C-alpha cells in the first residue's frame, strides 16, 4: 500500500476500495494530517471544517482521549485486553502502543469494516513480543460475527476482563438501525466478565447545535450517516455499568492532562465505565 496522497487511480489499491466516494476513516485521516485520503474524502473533510472550524483540533482531541482512556484502563483499572471497535487508519500512538508502553503483555483486537484500514493494519498494528495484536475486518452491525470470530477467540481470553472501545464510531448508526447502536454496544459487552470496561466518545449537538447541524448536513449529503447525541442519549450506552469519574463528560474534560481552556470547544461527550 503506497503511503503517498491517493490519486484515486492507484493500481495497487484493492478493487474493494472505492476512492470516488468519501469514507469516514479517510475523512478522519485527513483531519489528523494523514496521507491516506483521496479527493472525495478531502472535499467532505473541508466542507465539514467550513461547518465546524475547530474540526481538526476535535479529531486530535479524540485521539488524545483514546490515549488517556487506554492509559487509565491499563494503569489504574489493570486491563490487559482490548477490543477496539472502529479502529480507523492506524495513527500512532495506536491502542496497543499506549497500552504496551505500560503493560507489554497487553493483547488488542482491532475491528474495522474499511478495507483501507485492513491494508494498513497488517503492516502497522504489530505487537511487542510479550503481547499480541490482531485485526478483524467486520461490520459492527453484525456484532455476533465479531464475537464469534476465530481471531477474537484466539487472541482474547473472555474469562478475563476486556475493555471494549467504541471511540468516535457510534455516530455512524441511527436509533432506527437494527441492531441500533445501543444494542450493538450491549451485545459486545454481554459475554465480557465482571471487571470489563466500556470507553466511548461520540459527537454531540449540546455544545453548538448550529455548527453541528451544518456538519451533519455536509456528511449526509456525501452519503455518510452522522448522528450526534445528547448527554442523556450518551448515558444510555452505559446502562447497567458503573461510570468512573468524572462520568459522561465533555471529552476535553475527561481526566485531562492539563485543564482545558474551554471544555466544550470539542463537541464530543466521553465516558468510561466498569461492568459490575
Closest separation in Å from C-beta 165 to ligand SAM: 7
- Residue 236 burial class via C-beta count within 10 angstroms: exposed 0-12, middle 13-18, buried 19 and up: middle
Q: Which of 169, 244, 249, 273 binds ligand SAM (CB under 6 A)?
A: 169
Does 96 contact ligand SAM by CB under 6 A? no
Closest separation in Å from C-beta 267 to ligand SAM: 14
Residue corresponding to grid cell 499506549: 98
Question: Across-strand partners of 23?
Answer: none
Does 172 contact ligand SAM by CB under 6 A? yes
**DSSP per-residue letters across 238-251:** TTTSEEPTT-SEEG
Does 80 contact ligand SAM by CB under 6 A? no
Residues in the chain: 276
The smaller minimum CB distance to ligand SAM, of residues 41 and 132, is found at 41
Cα dihedral across residues 132, 135, 138, 140: positive or negative: positive
Local structure of residue 6 (DSSP, 8 states): P
Q: Using H for helix, E for strand and C for coil, what is the string for 177-229?
A: CCCCHHHHHHHHHCCCCCCCEEEEEEECCCCCHHHHHHHHHHHHHCCCCCCCC
Residues sharing a CB contact under 8 Å with residue 86, sequence separation 6 or more, in sequence order = 111, 112, 140, 166, 167, 168, 169, 172
Closest separation in Å from C-beta 157 to ligand SAM: 23
Binding region for ligand SAM (CB under 6 A) out of 21-29, 36-44, 73-81, 235-243: 21-29
Binding region for ligand SAM (CB under 6 A) out of 46-54, 80-88, 97-105, 226-234: 80-88
Does 185 contact ligand SAM by CB under 6 A? no
Closest separation in Å from C-beta 129 to ligand SAM: 25
Does 143 contact ligand SAM by CB under 6 A? no
Closest separation in Å from C-beta 159 to ligand SAM: 26
Q: Which residues bind to ligand SAM, rule: CB under 6 A?
A: 24-25, 28, 62-63, 66, 86-88, 112-114, 117, 139-141, 167-169, 172
Amino acid at each position: 500500500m503506497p503511503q503517498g496522497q491517493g490519486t484515486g487511480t492507484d493500481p495497487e489499491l484493492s478493487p474493494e476500495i472505492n476512492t470516488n466516494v468519501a469514507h469516514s476513516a479517510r475523512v478522519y485521516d485527513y483531519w489528523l494530517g494523514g496521507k491516506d485520503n483521496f479527493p472525495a474524502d478531502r472535499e467532505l473533510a473541508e466542507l465539514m471544517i467550513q461547518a465546524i472550524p475547530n474540526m481538526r483540533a476535535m479529531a486530535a482531541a479524540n485521539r488524545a482521549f483514546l490515549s488517556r482512556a487506554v492509559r487509565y484502563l491499563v494503569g489504574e483499572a489493570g486491563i490487559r485486553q482490548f477490543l477496539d471497535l472502529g479502529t480507523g487508519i492506524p495513527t500512532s500512538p495506536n491502542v496497543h502502543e499506549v497500552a504496551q508502553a505500560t503493560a507489554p503483555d497487553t493483547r488488542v483486537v482491532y475491528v474495522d469494516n474499511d478495507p483501507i484500514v485492513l491494508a494498513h493494519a497488517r503492516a502497522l498494528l504489530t505487537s511487542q513480543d510479550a503481547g499480541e495484536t490482531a485485526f478483524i475486518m467486520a461490520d459492527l452491525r453484525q456484532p455476533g460475527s465479531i464475537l464469534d470470530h476465530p481471531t477474537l477467540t484466539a487472541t482474547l481470553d473472555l474469562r478475563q476482563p476486556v475493555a471494549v472501545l467504541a471511540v468516535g464510531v457510534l455516530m455512524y448508526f441511527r436509533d432506527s438501525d437494527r441492531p441500533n447502536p445501543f444494542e450493538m454496544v450491549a451485545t459486545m459487552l454481554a459475554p465480557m466478565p465482571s471487571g470489563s470496561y466500556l470507553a466511548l466518545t461520540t459527537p454531540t449537538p449540546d455544545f453548538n447545535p448550529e455548527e453541528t447541524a451544518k456538519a451533519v448536513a455536509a456528511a449526509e449529503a456525501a452519503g455518510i450517516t452522522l448522528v450526534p447525541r445528547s448527554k442523556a442519549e450518551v448515558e444510555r450506552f452505559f446502562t447497567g455499568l458503573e461510570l468512573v469519574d468524572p462520568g459522561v463528560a465533555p471529552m476535553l474534560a475527561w481526566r485531562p492532562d492539563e485543564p482545558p481552556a474551554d471544555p466544550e470547544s470539542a463537541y464530543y461527550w466521553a465516558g468510561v465505565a466498569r461492568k459490575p
